[in-house]
Amino acid sequence: MKIIRAKEKKVQKALRRTQRVRRRLAENLGHPRLTVFRSNRYLWAQLINDKQGRTLLALSTKTIKKAPKVSKKVSTDKKKSPVELAYDLGFNLGKKALEKNIKYIRFDRGSYRYHGRVKALAEGARKSGLKF
C-alpha cells in the first residue's frame, strides 16, 4: 500500500508542476510553445501552435545522432554526452524554426527542472536565434 501511495504522490506532484508551468505559459498564446519530453535515453522537443492545436516542428536526439553536425560547439572526434546532444537538438530546432519564420517562442519545460539536458536544449535554441 505504501509503495502505491508514494507513486501516486510522485505523479500528482509532477502533474501539479506541469500545470503550474502551463498556466504561466497560457498568458501569451500568440507564440508557439516549445515543449520538452525527457526520457532516460533520449530527449524530444516540439514546437506547438496552441491556437490551432498543431505541431509545427518536432525533433529528437535520436535524429540528431544520425544527422550531420550543425553547431560548432562540440567536436566530432568523440562520442557526445547527453547534454551536448541536447544542446545540438536545441540549436537544430532553432535553425529549422527560423527557416519557418518562427522567431519568438514560449519554453515549456513541463515538470522537469531547468538544469542539465533541459537547460542545454534551451541554450542551444537561444544560440540559434530564437527569443524566449
Q: Report the CATH fold assignment for 2-128.
A: Nucleotidyltransferase; domain 5 (3.30.420)
Q: What is the pLDDT of residues 45-85, one digit of tens each?
A: 999 998 899 999 999 999 887 765 555 555 555 788 999 99
Q: What is the pLDDT of residue 23?
A: 86
Mean pLDDT along residues 27-48: 92
**How much is the CA Rg of the chain, to the nearest whole Å?**
16
pLDDT digits (tens, 9 = 90+) for 116-126: 999 999 999 99
pLDDT digits (tens, 9 = 90+) for 78-114: 788 999 999 999 999 999 999 999 999 999 999 999 9
Strand partners, 45: 36, 59
pTM (2 d.p.): 0.81
Give me the pLDDT at residue 88, please.
Answer: 95
Q: What is the pLDDT of residue 24?
A: 83
Contacts of the segment 82-86: beta carbons below 8 A, 24+ positions apart: 82/43, 82/117, 83/116, 83/117, 83/120, 84/120, 85/43, 85/61, 85/117, 86/43, 86/61, 86/116, 86/117, 86/118, 86/120, 86/121, 86/124
pLDDT tens, position by position, 1-11 = 667 788 889 89
